[in-house]
Structure 1
């Protein structure tokens, strides 16, 4: 351009910034005459040369205004856009306060000297794009002060053009936003933390605008009832239509009362329909937001799914009922067993004295009936978990036959019953009543899983252990019991919980959730293992493996009690402490038949008084546990105070407080459980030294 002007000797205008004593000056020409005095000498006439500051503001008052600003004002050249960047022409006093640089230290230098290692590539790129657009823009970036301290700054940058429209400068308003950013970061962390708590606590949130009737539901709220966020509209009708019909009136009434009475909050429980059609129990808390006049304008609140809690409460109530039944059963069992003890004892005494053999059949029927009643009492105590586990040799096949006999009267005719009892060895060391209970429970579960009919199969096989780690029998044979059905099957999600106490998939009132948990516990006590296999729509198989009894093993069983042989009995004298007169009389006569002497008293106080005087005469004491005035435990301890070596045989119909192991550990010599036979009494006395 200059060459063209020189060649054509044309006047032209231009601007050029020069620096004198580190202060910028703007040279502006209005009319330039160009001519060569000699071929090598160009003469230029400059019409005007002003300092740039005089161009920006005309007097000191303008400068004072700019220096009073809290934000930084920075003016730079328009170019170059790329490195090293436009040079700074002016900064106000706020620049020093923000960066620590004096005005003289920044003028003529690029603002990019403020950038640091943590100035992101993205923010630098945003500045470059904004400059290239020649339009106003904003950007936030990380800078550093003269001392190296980092800070966040928000830049509002605008281009400035001269009267010809040419962009000559950039004006930047800069604000330190470090405190704001830290507050934003803290707020963001708090929100993340709160959202994590809400998610972990599975708390659904909602916001109801009472003015517009608009409702907003959180993601977790929708998730509680099975919906993705996009599937459920933010609409009050969506909530209202899903509340259980039996609960809707109370829910709306409580909300209306809260609004009309200007309450601060309310709580409620109700059922809300899930996407799968089931109902979930919801605990809701609502808080009221009021305007300046105290009028409610919004309800905000939370939903917590308490379905599992409700189920646990129902199961607990059921368990408490069972506990109450168990306590009742225990009390009834004591009295009932006393009666049975008298019946069995006197029937056996009658049997020993009958001369007319034709009457023996009647006595046997009395004994059979009494023994059946005794077994019924034992089952009642076992089911209510109030009886001590008694290990004895148990034939699994015999127990299966017992269960089949029971099932034959209760199975739906559409259910076919198949058995395959292939196990040759089937005797295990276990509790007979518990084994029968386990098998019956599994069979009834199979029946319930086939409401439309199917096949229930019970199988046994001898095999090596295939499930779990059965102690001491890893290389030995076990009996495997398999109870299978062709029913509905069990979902995979449920399988890990199948043996948990109180877990049930049955409807309320149709299951306690204790059957399989009890089975698992009992099988473990028997040193066995239990497992389950299932496929939805195909059926379920429960597999139990129990260690077999070795052929030389011996377990206590009433049927193996020794015969009464009076001739080889060493006569003993016994103190009988029994409050039931019939049982006391039966014991006295039984002991006499067995060749022993006895003295009977009705309670513990009488027993102690007699033992203190004549204790050396007694070889042992037969002591009832449940007595008035002084109980069996208290009497036993008092007897031990008189004679530490006293031999006490506990005679009990039922003891809720003391297990067999506890009594034996405390010094009791042996225990005979009512109702007992003469053979049981004989065996206990023969065992005395």
Structure 2
């Protein structure tokens, strides 16, 4: 009997020990469950056998906008499809299949979770497999790490890096285009100049005169191409002034209506109350190019709208412009729109979606170059099948702008085209052919001409000459010393000196967008002999410098 009692006591002690151990484990499990439930790391567990959620903590419920009860009582597959972004379903499905096949015990991938309110955020899912003794997948535990801000920052960084690479590529192309256009313009000056002289010596209407006309016409068309290249490269010499953009748009209306055709309605909404500061001719080119682009996008007709308005931008504006006041020009069409894959390339030179022979691919590149060189910005919004809108910001003219900015010059009488006083003209150009052409034309018109091939030689020649020099005719871009520096140094010795720049290209920032100094004028290359002689005569015959336009067209 005593042995039986002892045996029962031992059994009771063992049962009590097991009970205490189970209680301890249960309490520990409760602590773990509580820790999981209150943890800030979203977690959940899904049974691979039963197809339901075994647990989900409050943090996980919060990031998808469901309650824990809704998750635990719902269908696991339905919930997964509902809260996972459609583009991420296949990636996650493949990861889980690898776990089910036993190829891995852990997985990590990025996915987007959709909150019940529609908000989408990026997370990293850390997946761990729980297996049965035979190796089959029993369940998966998933922890989520919020990486939305990091992901957005990375996307912004990648976009900025891509924009920087694109900007550097376009700048390199711009420098190349500007250099090519500069050299090509010099050749065109010679071709056009001597062809015009040759034409004058031929009988009018004869075969040779017609051939000369064809050469001249082709050279002028080539000149248009170089002008586009220079506009894109942002190395044109602009002649900015204050002018009314509304008046410009209104004045161009009849021209635009003829160009776009009767099946396209032209609508203007001109609400801007301030003038802009820019080169009127170049801004007209911007409007014309965008209008032609819109016309081509509406082969079956539509509506073209030109809008102007005033706007003030703060320092944190998204367009990269300095804080200040601007005038907005919007050119909007109801055309075919631009595909998203094409939008990043539309301002690239020679990029076109038109058929071969239908466009050079320089139209929008020219617009972009002119706008940015004018101190503005341009952006485009487009939807395929709905249309495209180009929004341009241009600097507003100062309210206290000097009279030279505000008023157009008085018209000049037609010059005599020959020197009356045998004025002295210093011609400086590093291109021998251009320099000889200019000098020969001026000598023929009765001017005394001094020739120099570079800035330093011009200074030495002027010093040896000893007498007054009435006019400096100089290229802008030259080795050793550019035309702008040469003009400044010569004016120190000859204060009344007038300057005529002959160039279509400049690397000198002071000539690219600022108004020219009094007594300084510009004749763009390439030009005809009559253009040069008319410009020189007009400059030297003007009673005072304020009477003459800064730009000779």
TM-score using structure 1 length: 0.44
For residue 301 of structure 2, what is the aligned residue in structure 1? 455
> Which of the numbers 332, 335, 345 marks the counterpart of 2:183?
335
Say whether 1:378 aligns with 2:227.
yes
The change in CA–CA distance for 1:320 and 1:596 in structure 2 (over 3 A counts) is same
For residue 635 of structure 1, report the CA deviation from its aligned partner. Answer: 3.0
The SS at the match of 2:474 is strand
The SS at the match of 2:301 is strand
The SS at the match of 1:243 is helix
- Match runs of 1:642-653 below 5 Å: 642-653=493-504
Distance in 1 (alpha carbons) for counterparts of 2:167 and 2:197 = 43
> Which of the numbers 256, 259, 266 marks the counterpart of 1:400?
256
For residue 88 of structure 2, what is the aligned residue in structure 1? 243
For residue 368 of structure 1, what is the aligned residue in structure 2? 217
Distance in 1 (alpha carbons) for counterparts of 2:96 and 2:427 = 67
Does the CA-based 8 Å contact 1:390-1:430 persist in structure 2? yes
The SS at the match of 1:348 is helix
For residue 444 of structure 2, what is the aligned residue in structure 1? 593
> Which of the numbers 339, 344, 349 marks the counterpart of 2:197?
349
The change in CA–CA distance for 1:366 and 1:247 in structure 2 (over 3 A counts) is farther
- Does 347-356 or 383-392 show the bigger shift? 383-392
For residue 507 of structure 1, report the CA deviation from its aligned partner. Answer: 1.0
Structure 1 gaps, min length 5:
1-187, 196-204, 224-228, 254-258, 290-296, 406-415, 423-427, 461-465, 471-479, 489-504, 545-552
Does the CA-based 8 Å contact 2:477-2:483 persist in structure 1? yes
Distance in 2 (alpha carbons) for counterparts of 1:248 and 1:600 = 80
For residue 465 of structure 2, what is the aligned residue in structure 1? 614
- Match runs of 1:321-332 below 5 Å: 321-332=169-180
For residue 335 of structure 1, report the CA deviation from its aligned partner. Answer: 0.7
For residue 341 of structure 2, what is the aligned residue in structure 1? 508
Distance in 2 (alpha carbons) for counterparts of 1:615 and 1:260 = 93
Distance in 1 (alpha carbons) for counterparts of 2:198 and 2:82 = 81
The change in CA–CA distance for 1:316 and 1:206 in structure 2 (over 3 A counts) is farther
Structure 2 gaps, min length 5:
1-37, 66-70, 99-103, 129-140, 269-275, 312-328, 348-363, 393-405, 545-553
The change in CA–CA distance for 1:235 and 1:619 in structure 2 (over 3 A counts) is same
For residue 431 of structure 2, what is the aligned residue in structure 1? 580
The change in CA–CA distance for 1:286 and 1:651 in structure 2 (over 3 A counts) is farther
1:102-127 deviation digits (Å, cap 9, x = unpaired):
xxxxxxxxxxxxxxxxxxxxxxxxxx
For residue 654 of structure 1, report the CA deviation from its aligned partner. Answer: 0.2
For residue 378 of structure 1, report the CA deviation from its aligned partner. Answer: 1.7
The change in CA–CA distance for 1:249 and 1:219 in structure 2 (over 3 A counts) is same
For residue 573 of structure 1, report the CA deviation from its aligned partner. Answer: 1.6
Structure number with higher helix proportion: 2
For residue 243 of structure 1, report the CA deviation from its aligned partner. Answer: 3.2
The SS at the match of 1:627 is coil
The change in CA–CA distance for 1:369 and 1:536 in structure 2 (over 3 A counts) is closer
For residue 650 of structure 1, report the CA deviation from its aligned partner. Answer: 1.8
- Match runs of 1:431-450 below 5 Å: 431-442=280-291, 444=293
For residue 318 of structure 1, report the CA deviation from its aligned partner. Answer: 3.6
1:615-656 deviation digits (Å, cap 9, x = unpaired):
425322212121123333443344345445543322223013
For residue 412 of structure 1, what is the aligned residue in structure 2? none
TM-score using structure 2 length: 0.54
For residue 580 of structure 1, report the CA deviation from its aligned partner. Answer: 0.8
For residue 521 of structure 2, what is the aligned residue in structure 1? 670
**Structure possessing the higher radius of gyration over alpha carbons:** 1
For residue 206 of structure 1, report the CA deviation from its aligned partner. Answer: 5.6
> Which of the numbers 474, 481, 492 marks the counterpart of 1:623?
474
The SS at the match of 2:509 is coil
> Which structure carries more relative contact order (alpha carbon 8 Å, separation 6+)?
2
For residue 145 of structure 2, what is the aligned residue in structure 1? 301
- Does 301-310 or 573-582 show the bigger shift? 301-310
Does the CA-based 8 Å contact 1:242-1:273 persist in structure 2? no
1:644-683 deviation digits (Å, cap 9, x = unpaired):
5543322223013335476755676222221122333224
- Does 586-595 or 353-362 show the bigger shift? 353-362
- Match runs of 1:521-600 below 5 Å: 565-566=416-417, 569-600=420-451
> Which of the numbers 524, 527, 531 marks the counterpart of 1:680?
531
1:494-534 deviation digits (Å, cap 9, x = unpaired):
xxxxxxxxxxx841333458779969x969x89xxx9x999
Structure number with higher strand proportion: 1
